[in-house]
Amino acid sequence: MPEKSSIDLCNVSFKRGGRTILHDISLSIGRGELVAMVGLNGAGKTTLLSLLATLAVPESGHIFIDDVDVVAHPAEARTRIGVVFQTSALEPRLSARDNLWFIARCQGLKGRAVQQRVNELLTTFGLEAQAETPVQWLSGGQCRRLELARALIARPPVLLLDEATLGLDIAARRAFWAEIRALVDDGHTVLCSTHHTEEARDADRVVVLHQGHLLAGGPWPAMHAPVSGTIRLRVPDIAEAQRWLAAQGYPVEIGNDNSIIVSGTDPQAVLPALLQRIPCRVLGADIAAPDLMDVVGHWIAAQSGDAAHPATHLAAKVAAKVAGKAAA
């Protein structure tokens, strides 16, 4: 991790309507680091980003962006950040070029500097052909790229993304995320909230929020490692297979459809050896690797002392996958 911080939150709490939304959050994000913030709806992710974006003031604690005290000097802090919100901040009736031109003038660029920066961003994000097209006629992916260009007008060192790929199809989401990764490689610091497994997996670090508390944080492999996946086996003799699996030390449950569910880390690696060793006939097998919500569920359960809870979600996910195949 980079040594010098771009974002520092020190014992930050926030209340709204008498209810505490964030509880004593402390988090440091290094320069050139990409951090994914994850959690269930209502965890406090958007509120935390709003505090960083100077849209709200904390009840207590301190926030620094690029060494600037956000509470004491909000205007100066805003010059250090670019923000992409869940909902579009673009004017739909204006062209892509005019949207960028407008925000450039608002941020103090003048004369040739405006035209130069707008042209540069349109080229960088592959929007030259859509430069004169009204935003209302752009695709979802094009709009999101334009939002990102808008956030980068003043060359801020820090980017805040609040579920910025929400509503995009897989191809558009991956293209947008490739742009984010390129910005990080170029030295930008990015804090994003996401519900997508592949985005969390691609981040340098993942932090889990739940009910306003920061539960855990670390690289994706470390956050993912303790979370079990499941293997679902369809066998003609359930009792025989269950006895053998239990004797070999595999955690086993019987599914609602009389299949055998085996829990364990890295099920993709376990399954080939399991199929070679099991002495009874196997009619079919399905795998459910843990996804982002399983990881979030694990750390929530670990905090509450119910670490077995996430396996229930995985078993249901396998059953739903198989049911979908049968319906097809």
Per-residue pLDDT reduced to its tens digit, 151-191: 999 899 999 999 988 888 888 888 889 889 999 999 999 99
Read off the pLDDT of each residue in 226-246 and give the average, rounded to a whole number: 90
Contacts 24+ apart (CB under 8 A), 290-295: 290/224, 290/227, 290/228, 290/229, 290/314, 291/197, 291/317, 292/38, 292/194, 292/195, 292/196, 292/197, 292/200, 293/195, 294/227, 295/38, 295/200, 295/206, 295/208, 295/223, 295/224, 295/227
The confidence score (pLDDT) of residue 328 equals 45
Q: Has residue 312 got a pLDDT over 80?
A: no
Give me the pLDDT at residue 3, please. 57
Give the whole-angstrom CA distance, residue 196 versus residue 162: 12
Window from 20-24, 86-90, 137-141, 264-268 with minimum mean pLDDT: 264-268
Whether the predicted pLDDT of 33 surpasses 90 = yes
User: Which H helix or E strand runs over 298?
Assistant: helix 292-304
pTM of the model: 0.81
Q: Which residues contact 160 (CB under 8 A, 6 or more apart)?
A: 49, 52, 53, 81, 82, 83, 84, 190, 191, 192
pLDDT at 306: 57
294 CB contacts (<8 Å, ≥6 apart)?
Answer: 227, 310, 313, 314
For residue 111, pLDDT beyond 90: no
Cα 23 from chain centroid (whole Å): 21
**Rounded to an integer, what distance in angstroms lies between the CA atom of residue 198 and that of residue 194?**
10
Tell me the HSE value of 235 on the side-chain side, using a 13 A CA sphere: 23
Domains observed in the chain: 5-223 (3.40.50.300), 225-327 (3.30.70)
| pLDDT band (50, 70, 90) for residue 218 | very high
| pLDDT of 317 strictly over 90 | no
Element (H, E) at 98: helix 96-106
Q: What is the pLDDT of residues 45-84, one digit of tens each?
A: 999 999 999 999 999 999 999 999 999 999 999 999 999 9
Is pLDDT of 291 > 90? Answer: no
